[in-house]
A and B are shown apart, each in its own frame.
Chain A
Amino acid sequence: MLRDAVFTTLLIIVIIALTYLTYSGGLGDLPPQDIRLIAKNYLNLTYNRDAYWLWTASPEAVSAIVWDYRGLDTLFETAVFYGAILAALTVFRGVAKLPDTAGSAGLSLVVKRSTALVTLAILTVATSTALHGHLTPGGGFQGGAIASIAPLLLLVVFGRRFFTDNRITYGKLLTLRNISLSLLGISTLTILLYGLLINASGYIFQNQAKATSPLSYPSHILDVPLGGTIFFLNLFEFLAVTSGFTLVFTILLSSEEILSKEFEGEDHGY
């Protein structure tokens, strides 16, 4: 007990000492007093109407960097996430489509009603996070991660068979995920293909018109900034992440009886 007390006190002293050092300027000015070079470059290149051949049409610099300047990075990250979900689905491929044996009725009516409201709120926040990704902080993956909490709550509160009873099947979720991922790929190629079609030059991942290519996604729609490809990429990433997480949750939350079928050893016929 004394050891615990001494340990905790030491930890707190170290934290306070570090806080004091940071606060009194041990790391230089925090926050920095001048704009650093890298920040200056990004600000010049993301929403700079004067340099129209460089700008990305997205006022949210982080989204612009993630999708427009480091789009290839993000595409590969998405591919890794897709692969991870694919691996999980492959491991449980035998049982993934089976309806759950335990037809639980879920929790009480009060919990169900309040969860229904909260789920609506979660989905609203998630959609707005994803669709405003080019205007405010957020984006496709963030929105998808928030939205995937909703099926989690629904499965726990309304019972394990909620999705099967409401005809949200494994196949439909998988199709949604595959379609949105294909559209994600297609939206990076649209300008290139269109360029080939009308015999003008275009690039993969191109968003706005460049000095060497006149083609561009619309930067505004009905006076609302659209951010070109960034809007579409966020939207499809949102759908892909949400459906991917939902698939994995439905499998992980199914009955022990079903899950253990996949782990039966040689004794049981493998």
Chain B
Amino acid sequence: MDYVDLAFVLMGSVALLSVAFTFLAIRTRDLMNAVIFSSVQSIAYALIYFLLMAPDIVLVYIAVSVGIYPLILILLIKKVGRLEVTG
């Protein structure tokens, strides 16, 4: 297995991981957990960008999707309440 194969295998498994965390983020009732799950999914995407040789994107993507974006969402959650009410 050469490096290209390894990169593709890694990308595939990280993509699967991101699907799992997206699923969790949609299903969970606790919005705070949803933000954390979606951050993990963003980290997975950042890793895919890195493997696709786009380090420029990775640098800004991590700062925005794991730092700034969750902050805005958490500030919003603080105002609307943490638990999602259904029905």
A83 to B19, CA, bound (A): 36
Q: Report the interface size for chain B: residues with CB under 8 A from the other chain.
A: 21
Cα A142 to Cα B49 in complex, Å, equals 15
With an 8 Å Cβ cutoff, the count of chain A residues facing the other chain is 28
A138 in contact with B68 (CB, 8 Å): no
Q: Judge whether A252 and B75 touch: CB under 8 Å.
A: yes
Q: CA–CA, A142 to B50, complex, Å?
A: 15
Residue of B nearest to A23 (CB): B8
Contact code string A16-28 (vs B, CB < 8 Å = 1, else 0): 1001001100000
Q: How far is the CA of A175 from the CA of B1 in the complex (A)?
A: 56
CB contacts between A and B, total, < 8 Å: 60
Q: Counting chain A CB atoms within 10 Å of each CB, which of B8, B12, B72 scores highest?
A: B12
A4-12, A197-205, A226-234: which one contacts chain B?
Answer: A4-12
Q: How far, in angstroms, from A143 to B60 measured CA to CA in the complex?
A: 8
Are A137 and B56 in contact (CB-based, < 8 A)?
Answer: yes
Chain B residues numbered 1-28 whose CB sits less than 8 Å from any CB in chain A: 4, 8, 12, 15-16, 19, 23, 27
Q: Nearest Cβ in chain B — how far from A202, in angstroms?
A: 29
- Which of B23, B55, B64 meets A11, CB within 8 Å? B23
16 A–B contacts, CB within 8 A, in A order? A4-B27, A12-B19, A15-B16, A15-B19, A19-B8, A31-B4, A62-B56, A129-B59, A137-B55, A137-B59, A142-B59, A148-B68, A149-B67, A249-B71, A252-B72, A253-B75
